[in-house]
Structure 1
Amino acid sequence: VFEGWDAAGKGTSINLLTSRLDPRGFQLYPVREARTFEKHLPWLWRFWLKIPNYGEMAIFDRSWYGRVLVERVEGLTPVREWR
């Protein structure tokens, strides 16, 4: 999981790391705002689907932890869901 401020070098670090890996051996997932249909599912559903199996590797560009903050601060999730 790569997390940090905007322009902190997360993308550069991910590019350096993945350039040395076999692309068949990992999946890269950018974490973005939930799509319309995902907003009707449990909040972590879209992340549960991407958890790698034993022996596999997943790289997340941002985290679900940071996404919680962004969605609340930017008003992307209704207040009733935070209570």
Structure 2
Amino acid sequence: MQTRLTFICCQCQRNFTQLVETEGNPIQIVHCPYCGARCEAKLSPDQSRVSAVYRGTNGPSGSPSGTPTAPIQTTVPDEEA
């Protein structure tokens, strides 16, 4: 299943969102759209299953349900020779 997640770039520290496959490999390689850096993100099993609970009758005012509320920190991937 693909889910849109928010990441923090390992080079320029800007937040960006990207559709990633959340099942299977817990380590994803993402590319920053701002600086073009190749970043490694480690997904935890609970990270893609955060649900938002809304109170009141005016409808949702935060992030959509089912998406993480905090951006995922990325690191520079190990170079494979």
Bin of the TM-score, shorter chain as denominator length: under 0.3
With structure 1 as the length reference, what TM-score do the two structures score? 0.23
> Would you tell me which structure has more helix in proportion to its own residues?
1
> Would you tell me which structure has more strand in proportion to its own residues?
2
Instruction: Answer 1 or 2: higher relative contact order, Cα 8 Å, separation at least 6.
Output: 1
